[in-house]
Amino acid sequence: MLKYPAPLRRRAVPGLIAALLIAPPVALANEASALAELKAIRAMTAHADTEAARRIAMVRLSLPPDASPLLRRELENIEARVTGCAAPGAMNAAAALAAAAAAQGTPGAPSEVRAVGKPALGVPAFGTTPARAPGLHGAQPGGSRAAATMPRAQRLRLLATTLAAVAAAALAGAAFIMYRRSQDKSERLAQLDRVLNDQARRDPLTRLQNRRAFVDKMADRAESMPLNRTATDCISLINIDHFRLVNDRLGHDVGDAVLAEIGRRLHKVVRDSDMLVRWGGEEFLVFSPDAHPQQMRKMLERVMGAVGSTPVQVDGHSIPVTISVGLAHLPFAGIPEFTFDWQKVVSLADKALHLAKQQGRNRAVAVAGLSGDHDAAMAALETDFGRAIEQGMVETISVPGPSGAQVKQLHPA
């Protein structure tokens, strides 16, 4: 399986670390900006109170001698409210203006400065009044420019740190997205690899497993087989009788259809645990695990009956088809597999198949074992299979096919 998560994890780690390092400075910058803003608001409030006290003192200086009692009472009420909320600097400025008015003898001016103490009942004390929003009472005087510059600098620093945090988070998110995409791509590649692997081990015409799949099966079997195993496996080679006549007389398209149909019929009658393989051309192979040769007689009868009992119908042609089968078991005759392996057993089954064809086709020949001296029998078996059978060194079992099958219908006269 192909995987690519490791490089992308290395790309995601710097972004995550940057986000973790930038988050605390961002929080501190927010707190510092808020504190600076509150200080600016407090400075603006003190300046406004000072300005109000100065203007009240100016109004008192310019008050005419014949001012009405209503105007004087309103002035006193406003002065009481402002002096109750004003900062010490504002109250000192108001007292200085009042002293100057008394020294000049301004009519209507009080002869002594009003003492500043606790505000009257109902008048809020300094610090409890709502903060004045800047810009609600006209343009700010020149003294408040420094206070207004501090929040702007803090806002710029806050903006810079926020942008850095957002960039780090975006980088981490992009790395995570790339990591997820790589995982999806790895999964798709793994799925594609499984599909291609399955296609490489299947015959495209019959959709049965091919020779490569059987070789891999034997390799896995050799690795996982226990040393004290006593069960036997059977290998059967199947060949379609006179299949060349089908191709020559009816065409290769009809021949391919016949092969596909024979593959379907064989697949229906073999066991679920058996492995059905298209061995090549018109030959098939059946690997039957844990099956004794004496028990395979019924399987051979079932296979030959499924193929030869009913003609194959292709494009209006009714084609009678029979098969010949050769069978051998693994391990063979008690000989260890490292001496007589599965390749030799397949070769032995092929010899039994040719014997079945020599005996008239539409039949199966199973090699049951050896008799007499095993060394002499094995030597005769490898040199001349037919002679070894005639001399009684090799035991075989012959199983005829369906009796009603027309073996030579397509055979030339």
Domain boundaries, the chain: 5-130+139-166, 211-400
Half-sphere exposure of 146 (CA within 13 A, CB side): 3
Residues ≥6 apart with Cβ < 8 Å to 323? 238, 239, 240, 241, 262, 303, 304, 307, 308, 362, 401
* Chain mean position to CA 375: 60
Give residue 93's pLDDT: 56
pTM: 0.57
Nearest to 288 by CA among 299, 301, 304, 303: 299
Which option is the CATH number for 211-400: 3.40.50.10680, 3.30.70.270, 3.40.50.300, 3.90.550.10?
Answer: 3.30.70.270
- Give the whole-angstrom CA distance, residue 61 versus residue 52: 14
Nearest to 213 by CA among 279, 265, 260: 279
3-state secondary structure of 410: coil
- 165: number of Cβ within 10 Å: 19
In order of 53, 81, 113, 129, 209, the CA distances from 75 in angstroms are: 11, 10, 15, 21, 109
DSSP 340: S
Residue 412 main-chain phi, psi, to 5 deg: -65, 145
The most confident of the ranges 95-104, 139-148, 186-195 is: 186-195
- Whether residue 375 contacts residue 405, with contact meaning beta carbons closer than 8 Å, is answered with no
- Give the whole-angstrom CA distance, residue 234 versus residue 211: 16
* Chain mean position to CA 224: 32
Q: Any bridge partners for residue 314, and if so which?
A: 317
Residues ≥6 apart with Cβ < 8 Å to 166? none
The 10s digit of each residue's pLDDT in 79-118 is: 787 776 655 555 555 565 555 555 555 444 444 434 444 4
The 10s digit of each residue's pLDDT in 280-301 is: 999 999 999 998 766 788 989 9
Mean pLDDT estimate for the chain: 78
Q: Where are the extended beta strands (E) located within 30-148?
A: none
Identify the sign of the CA torsion 377, 379, 382, 383.
Answer: negative
DSSP 202: B
The 10s digit of each residue's pLDDT in 350-397 is: 999 999 999 999 999 999 888 878 788 888 888 888 888 888 888 899
CA dihedral (75, 77, 78, 79) in degrees, to 10, reads: 80
Rg value, the chain, Cα: 53
Question: Is the peptide bond between 110 and the residue preceding it cis, with omega within 30 degrees of 0?
Answer: no
**Number of residues that this document lists for the chain:** 413
- Give the whole-angstrom CA distance, residue 126 versus residue 85: 5
Give residue 279's pLDDT: 95
Give residue 273's pLDDT: 93
Determine which of 220-224, 268-272, 349-353 has the lowest per-residue pLDDT on average. 220-224
List, edge to edge, every strand of the sheet that includes 283-288.
Answer: 275-280, 283-288, 233-240, 323-330, 363-370, 394-400
Nearest to 308 by CA among 291, 293, 325: 325
- Give the whole-angstrom CA distance, residue 78 versus residue 73: 9
- Whether residue 398 contacts residue 359, with contact meaning beta carbons closer than 8 Å, is answered with yes
- Whether residue 236 contacts residue 285, with contact meaning beta carbons closer than 8 Å, is answered with yes
Alpha helices by DSSP H, 309-400: 342-358, 374-383, 385-390
The 10s digit of each residue's pLDDT in 165-183 is: 888 888 888 888 988 888 8
- Give the whole-angstrom CA distance, residue 172 versus residue 169: 5
